[in-house]
Amino acid sequence: MKAAAFDYLRAATIEEAAEASAGANTAVLAGGQSLVPLLNMRLARPSLLVDINHLTDLSYLRRDNGNLVIGAMTRHRAAETSALAGQDVPLLTAALGHVGHVSIRNRGTVGGSLAHADPAAELPAVAVALDASLRAQSAHGVRDIAARDFFVGPNRTALRPGELLVSVSFPVLQAGFSVQELAFRGQDLALVLVVAAVTVEDGHCTQARIAVGGAGPTPIRATSVEQALVGRALTDALITEAAAELSCDPPDSIHAPASYRREMATVLTRRAIRTAVHP
């Protein structure tokens, strides 16, 4: 199937892209790895496509004031192979390795993945786990949105018409980390996934950041699990006890019933904490 007809604008500046995307029924084209299939299946029928692939000033990774800041048009693969990202936010690098195949990561962008807001995608879960901050730009200026407020439903974000996602800031965090996924095939979108970053000092957990994807309309921060871990001696029994605190309400899907996804979310949470602590 081919896409329905649309007008096309190759934006030369962020301002032009933001202004054009303020119109009714427009879509921003980044790497196209999610949008183009939707267009071809006619599940998306925008009347105007605003191509931001030539906004090279949105492609960068840099350290800024204790944060790793990534431009929205940075390709997944560029972020995955960045030494800076690997050093500053190793959980992010590990998660990027799970995003589709290398060919998809060569084109797909960090901003596109976040703006697409698939509840089972890796980057939204990492953003929620690490309290990332997402920067939107429009003709009215710039605003920063906390990851916990950015994802508002399946494929729905807090971005307003005319707002372009321009960057995301992850706090620098060198902690033990793990990404655990249940998927039919290695590089498929997960049925359920868990990302975890855990800091241990003298055998005690001093910080835990855990998020679950594919278990609700948005990525879920596992705060009850985190609270059960922090300040306590990290034994295997504690990890099992803490993972059992996970509360999530995944929907039934054609691939797996809700009960199975819920059970697997707990199993993967336990596994993610263990692997983060004992890599």
Q: Please, what is the Cα angle at 103 between 101 and 104, to 5 degrees?
A: 65
Give CA separation, 262 vs 68, 93, 121, 163, 256, in Å. 32, 26, 17, 35, 10
Query: Does residue 34 bind ligand FAD (CB under 6 A)?
Result: yes
- Rounded Cα–Cα distance for residues 174 and 183 (Å): 27
Q: Which of 160, 201, 199 is nearest to 177 (CA)?
A: 199
- Residue 179 or 198: which CB sits closer to ligand FAD? 179
Using rule CB under 6 A, residue 162 touches ligand FAD: no
218 sits near ligand FAD (criterion: CB under 6 A): no
By beta-carbon proximity to ligand FAD, the closer residue of 110 and 242 is 110
Query: Contacting ligand FAD (CB under 6 A), which of 39, 92, 94, 99?
Result: 99
Q: Is 30 in the site for ligand FAD (CB under 6 A)?
A: yes
Note whether 33 binds ligand FAD by CB under 6 A: yes
Q: Is residue 138 a contact residue for ligand FAD (CB under 6 A)?
A: no
Does position 111 interact with ligand FAD (CB under 6 A)? The reply is: yes
3-state secondary structure of 110: helix
Q: Rg of the chain's alpha carbons, rounded to an integer?
A: 19
CB-nearer residue toward ligand FAD: 27 or 84: 27
Closer CB to ligand FAD, 104 or 267, in the complex: 104
CA–CA gap between residue 148 and residue 136 (Å, rounded) = 15
CA distance 212 to 224: 12
The residues binding ligand FAD (CB under 6 A) are: 27-35, 37, 72, 98-100, 104, 108-109, 111-113, 115-116, 118, 121-122, 159, 164-165, 187, 189
